[in-house]
Amino acid sequence: MAVYIAFEGGEGSGKSTQASLLAERLDAVLTREPGGTGLGSRLRELLLNTTDVPIGARSEALMMAADRAQHLDQVIVPALASGRHVVSDRSAFSSMAYQGGGRKLGVDRIQQLNDFAIDGRWPDVVVLLTVPPDAARSRLDRDLDRIEQAGEGFHQRVVDAFTEMAAADPDRWVIVNGEGSIHEVAERVWQALQIRLAQPAP
């Protein structure tokens, strides 16, 4: 049975790299949020742009949800229906952490909004990559986007929200140490997923 796997974590945790490696290993459809569709790419540009018009917290949450609704209909559901695994760099859980926790809109409120956006189709398995804040910052050796620039307090709230979600739903979430070489982390991810991929989705 095809499985929907999402990678989550704070900035600099290595999600994009590990999602790509796992998708290649599984011959899965690789995608991302925001930006996995044509509409999503337009929304991503607006959401992450540091020079455009200001975006309020609620507007940000709604734009993320719009991206997600299109992503589900256009990419995720068709891929799963065809029998392909899907590996996504971020999912609706990111909004719960970033807009719910980081922006202080409330994790439960953002969960309700996104449950509507994705018609209740949450990831089957979530891989949470964890790295210490100093290590994460050292990996962001480029110009930071609008959300990456939100400040240490914001990003700590994001990490805290991810940690709480993973603890509350251990059947869905696996926590993987994101420190070390790309190969070392990839092997940890693979080992952590072996049992999950052999079991029915939650």
CATH number of the domain encompassing residue 58:
3.40.50.300
Residue 202 is assigned to a structural domain of this protein:
no
pLDDT at 201 exceeding the cut of 70: no
The pLDDT value recorded for residue 12 is 79
The pLDDT value recorded for residue 147 is 79
Residue 73 is assigned to a structural domain of this protein:
yes
The pLDDT value recorded for residue 79 is 98
Residue 33 is assigned to a structural domain of this protein:
yes
The pLDDT value recorded for residue 49 is 86
Please give the residue that has the higher pLDDT: either 200 or 59. Answer: 59
Average pLDDT score over residue span 172-190: 95
The pLDDT value recorded for residue 57 is 95
Give backbone dihedrals phi and psi of 114, rounded to 5 degrees, phi first.
Answer: -75, -25
Residue 173 is assigned to a structural domain of this protein:
yes
Residue 84 is assigned to a structural domain of this protein:
yes
- Give the residue among 65, 37, 34, 36 at the shortest CA–CA distance from 48: 34
**pLDDT single digits (tens) 85-141:** 999 999 999 999 999 999 999 999 999 999 999 999 999 999 999 998 677 666 666
Residue 18 is assigned to a structural domain of this protein:
yes
Q: Is residue 71 a contact partner of residue 41, using CB atoms and an 8 Å limit?
A: no
What pTM does this model have?
Answer: 0.91
Element (H, E) at 138: helix 133-139
- The DSSP symbol for 50 reads S
> What is the rounded CA–CA span in Å between residue 151 and residue 145?
12
Strands annotated E in 33-154: 86-89, 125-130
The pLDDT value recorded for residue 144 is 76
Domain count, the chain: 1
Q: Residue 56: which domain range?
A: 4-197
Residue 79 is assigned to a structural domain of this protein:
yes
The pLDDT value recorded for residue 140 is 64
Residue 61 is assigned to a structural domain of this protein:
yes
Distance of CA 5 to the CA centre of its chain: 10
Distance of CA 122 to the CA centre of its chain: 11
Average pLDDT score over residue span 182-197: 91
